[in-house]
Amino acid sequence: MWHPIAASHDLPFRHVFHAKLLDQEFAVWRADDGFVNIWQNRCLHRGVRLSIGINDGQELKCQYHGWRYANRTAGCTYIPAHPEKAPARTITNRIFPCVERYGLIWSALEAPSGEPAADAKLDENPLVLRGIAVRAPAPRVTALVESANLPATIFVQPTDSASCVIRGLISPAPDPAEHAKMLRHYNDVLSALRNAAEQRA
């Protein structure tokens, strides 16, 4: 099943985004050619998080020993301790599915069927609301979102059993002159919802 794990604007130039879905950590990075990589957040060498590594536009370099992994293939291309040797082809990071649509980045733990949010009948370019991290389980937050009955399309991304991220879209997007006010409004509404969810711990 597809879940949104980031917004497109969470992947600026040469950044590495640290995402989490159902207890799985991801290192998410956009290469200079626009391709979005979603990898298991663990260098295969000694288990250091790739999300603290360096995105140089073509490769992700691990912070520990400088191992480099290629855009798209996730294969290790260079091991500095042995600069003359080509790394074994088996040294390839675990890749997760990725679709960038509706201003969000979507992924899944297993091979998902269909397209993300196919039922929601969304516009191509909705207004992407600020993602709100909540320290409460996704089912509780989903219930609160549903009873709030907001005129927005809300997805609740389950990061782990105790937390989630509320990712909302306004589709169709309103007039650009309204964006700032609407982003503020929904930020306040969803933050209040977050506070309510967290208080019921």
Partner 1 sequence: MTLYDYALSADGYKVRLLLGMLGIPHTTHFVELYPGRENHAAWFRNISPLGEVPVLKDDNMILRESHAILTYLAASYDTRQCWYPTSDPALLGAITQWLGFAHRLGETAGVARLHDSLFVTTDIDAARAGAHRLLRMLDEHLWFAEQSGQNWLCPAGHPTIADLAAFPPVILSEEGGVSRQEYPAVRRWCDRVKRLPGFTIMPGVFPAGPGWIG
Partner 2 sequence: MTHQPCSDPVIANLWHPIAARADIGAGQRHQTLLLDEPIALTIDAAGAASVRREAGAAPLPILERYGYFWTSLGDPPPDIFPIPEYAEPDRRRFNAASVGVHVSAPRAVENFLDMSHFPYVHTGILGDETHTEVKDYDVETSIERDEILATRCRFFQPISSTAADHGMEVDYIYRVPHPYCAVLYKSSVVDEARQDVIGIFVQPMTQERICAHMLICVLDERSTDATIKQFQQTVFGQDRPILENQFPKRLPLDPKAESPVRADKVSIAYRRWLARKGVTYGVIAAAV
Which residues are near partner 2 by CB under 8 A? 42, 44-49, 52, 63-66, 79-84, 88, 90-91
Helix axes 176-199, 138-148, angle to 10 degrees: 130
Of partner 1, partner 2, none, which one does residue 180 interact with (CB within 5 to 8 Å by kind)? partner 1
Of partner 2, partner 1, none, which one does residue 86 interact with (CB within 5 to 8 Å by kind)? none
Q: Which of residues 115-154 bind partner 1 (CB under 8 A)?
A: 130-131, 133
Helix or strand (DSSP H, E) at 57: none
Does position 10 interact with partner 1 (CB under 8 A)? The reply is yes
Q: How far is the CB of 102 from partner 1 (least distance, A)?
A: 18
Q: Which of residues 14-53 bind partner 1 (CB under 8 A)?
A: 14-15, 17-18, 20, 52
Is residue 92 packed enough to be buried (19+ CB in 10 Å), middle (13-18) or exposed (0-12)?
middle
Does position 174 interact with partner 1 (CB under 8 A)? The reply is no
Of partner 2, partner 1, none, which one does residue 201 interact with (CB within 5 to 8 Å by kind)? none
Of partner 2, partner 1, none, which one does residue 47 interact with (CB within 5 to 8 Å by kind)? partner 2
- CA distances (Å), 61 to each of 43, 49, 72, 177, in order? 9, 11, 14, 41
CA distance 99 to 95: 13
Binding-site member from 23, 35, 56, 94 for partner 1 (CB under 8 A) = 56
In terms of C-beta distances under 8 Å and separation of at least 24 residues, what long-range contacts does 117-126 make, across chains too? 117/2, 117/153, 117/155, 120/153, 120/171, 122/153, 122/169, 122/171, 123/171, 123/172, 123/173, 125/173, 126/102, 126/153, 126/169, 126/170, 126/171, 126/172, 126/173
Nearer of residues 48 and 152 to partner 2, judged by Cβ: 48
Which residues bind to partner 1, rule: CB under 8 A?
A: 6, 9-10, 12-15, 17-18, 20, 52, 54-57, 61, 63, 130-131, 133, 163, 180, 183-184, 187, 191
